[in-house]
Amino acid sequence: MEGFRLFPEAASTIAGRVDGLFGFLIGVSLFFAALIFALLLVFAIRYRRRSEDEQPPQIARRDWLEATWILIPFVLVMIMFGWGAKLYFNMMNPPDGALEIYAIGKQWMWKFQHPEGPREINELHVPVGHPVKMTMTSQDVIHSFFVPAFRVKMDVVPGRFTHIWFEATKPGVYHLFCAEYCGTMHAGMRGRVIAMRPTLYEEWLRSHVSGEPMASTGESLFGRLGCPTCHRADGGAPSLVGLFGTPVRLQSGATVTADESYLRESILNPRAKIVTGYQPIMPSFQGQINAEELTQLISYIKSLGQEQTNGS
């Protein structure tokens, strides 16, 4: 992490690919910058004014030249776009089976929750060689989760969940920065991402479990808040089993996907979206649960119905 360098370390599966694309752009840029600089220099010297009443020949426009220097750059930028878009699509779509970790940004610290239970503040332990998907929200203003060595960044927004995924390729300690200005100690909202070999990671997990897995904590909370009163068979509320990730038909006729943001809204502002065929009688839990408890509930709801498919 320390030590002067001119190029960042590449420590994720995507980093090398981003650097490759970056190299292509550097190459194209160097070529054109050098071309223009050289031409300007050569022309300025070769055609310097030698006498005050010099009358240079006027040159009419050449359409083929204009066409050339429109088309060639156009082709190049389209390559840049295509390559970048494809890589971006990969970066925004986590592979199946990614290890899910929750992150909550708040002024001016990072809180992480592993599904198995351990919680961290400003430090994030992850395994090497296994994709990790971050599910993130903010408790206050917009922050941004940025790990330069992994080449990933995603804003962390209040009121919704955002995602980013990465797979670390070598063990080490890497900078975590907040990359969206968030107030006084924005520059202090930093952390360390600690990538460990899988066996060491398992060990770390085991030794740091102080409570239960997130989903279990969520389950207890679910019970304590009285949710099963309605969210059970014949309870008058939509079933939550296997709900996560599926489409939901609303009373207004629209259809939405039951993602984390939808679950969050349903808990804090249930009347915003009413499921078709149900009454708007669910109370709001705004102010009764904090951001961590919310992620625990969501983790629990996600786990419902997943025992039939593969475990999380």
Q: Considering beta carbons, is residue 114 or 143 the nearer one to other proteins?
A: 143
Which residue reads 């903010």 in tokens?
Answer: 138
**The residue type at 302:** K
Which position among 286, 288, 290, 307 is part of the footprint of other proteins (CB under 8 A)?
286
Residues 202 to 241 in contact with other proteins, rule: CB under 8 A: none
C-alpha distances (whole Å) from 64 to each of 31, 56, 68, 309 are 21, 23, 6, 62
Residues 160-199 that bind other proteins (CB under 8 A): 160, 162, 175, 177-188
Told to check if 151 binds other proteins by CB under 8 A, we report yes
Residue 156: beta bridge partners?
143
Note the residue count of the chain: 312
Enter the tokens of residue 309: 């498919």
CA separation (Å) from 117 to 120, 179, 197, 204, 213? 10, 27, 19, 12, 4
Cβ nearer to other proteins, comparing 39 with 241? 39
CB of 162 to other proteins, least distance (A): 5
Q: What is the CA radius of gyration of the chain?
A: 27
Q: Which is nearer to other proteins, 4 or 247 (CB)?
A: 4
Q: Which amino acid is at 71?
A: L
Stretch that binds other proteins, among 43-51, 208-216, 234-242, 296-304 (CB under 8 A): 43-51
Residues in 48-87 that interact with other proteins by CB under 8 A = 48-50, 54-61, 65-66, 69-70, 73-74, 77-78, 80-81, 83-85, 87
Q: For residue 115, which of 141, 92, 134, 129 has the smallest C-alpha distance? A: 134
Identified binder of other proteins from the candidate list 123, 140, 202, 203, rule CB under 8 A: 140
- What angle, 0 to 180 degrees and rounded to 10, lies between the N-to-C axes of helices 291-303 and 214-224? 100
Residue type for position 29: S
State in angstroms the smallest separation of the CB of 108 from other proteins: 10
Only segment of 3-11, 94-102, 202-210, 216-224 that touches other proteins (CB under 8 A): 3-11
Quote the least distance from Cβ 56 to other proteins, whole Å.
5
Q: How far is the CB of 226 from other proteins (least distance, A)?
A: 22
